[in-house]
């Protein structure tokens, strides 16, 4: 049990639909980073939220958006789903953006787009 | 584009032997380096961190860092079947804002 929880664990959506994934960060952590991990690949950085503000974004289109709430939990929203969005989505929390102690990951949300 | 490179494997090692995993990174300003272990279908788990040149040992695991060569490695001694997993090398980029991951090396420990 890492203290970082993600929901749902699995999700099947149809191409063109929208999806919202949720993450509760570990107690005391004010930074949440989202990653997309396709099968056989390493996690790819989507974006990061620090104290409710976006603090960096990877090479993902604007249809990937997010929020961080005052309790530091976070949402990842993906609009106009495409087949290539099928992946494991990982949320990681940390004490700060470049936390030298590393990131703690949640168990992930497996998204399948059909 | 800041990158972290790993051999994807699979790397097959007999039980009880030493497994050696390697990683190079492009961001010369990076100062913090990590090894994560990921079992199939699970999320990454932090197993080692290293910040200074040289070796850092933790049980059966030894991380090695050479900043001049931009090279990080992980040695696993007395390999066990439970070590079979994908090992992800990760670095904090020089802007100190995020962790960048390699694509992972799949390790298989054969009996």
Max intra-chain CA distance, chain A: 39
Q: Is B39 on the interface with A (CB under 8 A)?
A: no
Chain A residue numbers with beta carbons less than 8 Å from the beta carbon of B4 are 42
pLDDT per position as a tens digit, B56-72: 999 999 999 999 999 99
Quick one: pLDDT at residue B2?
A: 76
pLDDT per position as a tens digit, B9-56: 899 999 999 999 999 999 999 999 999 999 999 999 999 999 999 999
Chain B residue numbers with beta carbons less than 8 Å from the beta carbon of A36 are none
pLDDT per position as a tens digit, A33-86: 999 999 999 999 999 999 999 999 999 999 999 999 999 999 999 999 999 999
- DSSP letters spanning B20-45: EEEEEES-TT---EEEEEE-TTS--E
Q: Judging by DSSP bridges, how do beta strands A10-13 and B19-25 pair with one another?
A: unpaired
Q: Which residues, numbered 14 to 73 in chain A, qualify as contacts with chain B under a Cβ-Cβ cut-off of 8 Å? A: 33, 35, 40-45, 48, 55-56
Between CA A90 and CA B46 the distance in angstroms is: 14
Between CA B106 and CA B38 the distance in angstroms is: 9
**Do B49 and A102 lie within an 8 Å CB cutoff?**
yes
Give the number of other CB atoms < 10 A from CB of residue B52: 10
Q: Is B96 on the interface with A (CB under 8 A)?
A: yes
Quick one: pLDDT at residue A98?
A: 84
Quick one: pLDDT at residue A100?
A: 82
pLDDT band at A31 (very low <50, low <70, confident <90, very high): very high
User: Which residues share a beta bridge with B38?
Assistant: B86
Does the pLDDT value for residue B83 go beyond 90?
yes
Max intra-chain CA distance, chain B: 44
Phi and psi torsions of B83, nearest 5°: -80, -10
Quick one: pLDDT at residue A2?
A: 58
Which one, of B32, B30, B34, B33, lies nearest residue B94 by Cα? B30
For chain B, what is the mean pLDDT? 95
Between CA B32 and CA A98 the distance in angstroms is: 9
Quick one: pLDDT at residue A60?
A: 97
pLDDT band at A1 (very low <50, low <70, confident <90, very high): low
How close A30 gets to chain B, by Cα (Å)? 13
**Do A106 and B43 lie within an 8 Å CB cutoff?**
yes
Between CA A61 and CA A50 the distance in angstroms is: 20
């Amino acid at each position: 049990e890492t203290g970082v929880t993600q929901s749902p664990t699995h999700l099947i959506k149809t191409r063109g639909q929208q999806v919202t994934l949720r993450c509760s960060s570990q107690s005391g952590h004010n930074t949440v980073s989202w990653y997309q991990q396709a099968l056989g690949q390493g996690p790819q950085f989507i974006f990061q939220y620090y104290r409710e503000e976006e603090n960096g974004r990877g090479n993902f289109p604007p249809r990937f958006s997010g929020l961080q709430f005052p309790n530091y939990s976070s949402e990842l929203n993906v609009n106009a789903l495409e087949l290539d969005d099928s992946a494991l989505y990982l949320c990681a929390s940390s004490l700060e953006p470049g936390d030298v102690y590393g990131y703690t990951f949640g168990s992930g949300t497996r998204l399948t787009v059909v | 584009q800041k990158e972290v490179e790993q051999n994807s494997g699979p790397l097959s090692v007999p039980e009880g032997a030493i497994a050696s995993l390697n990683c190079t990174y492009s961001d010369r300003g990076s100062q913090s380096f990590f090894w994560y272990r990921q079992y199939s279908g699970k999320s990454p788990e932090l197993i080692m961190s290293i910040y200074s040149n040289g070796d850092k040992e933790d049980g059966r695991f030894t991380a090695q860092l050479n900043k001049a060569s931009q090279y990080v490695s992980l040695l696993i001694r007395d390999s066990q079947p439970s070590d079979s997993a994908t090992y992800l090398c990760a670095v904090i980029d020089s802007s100190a804002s995020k962790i960048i991951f390699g694509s992972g090396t799949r390790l298989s420990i054969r009996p």
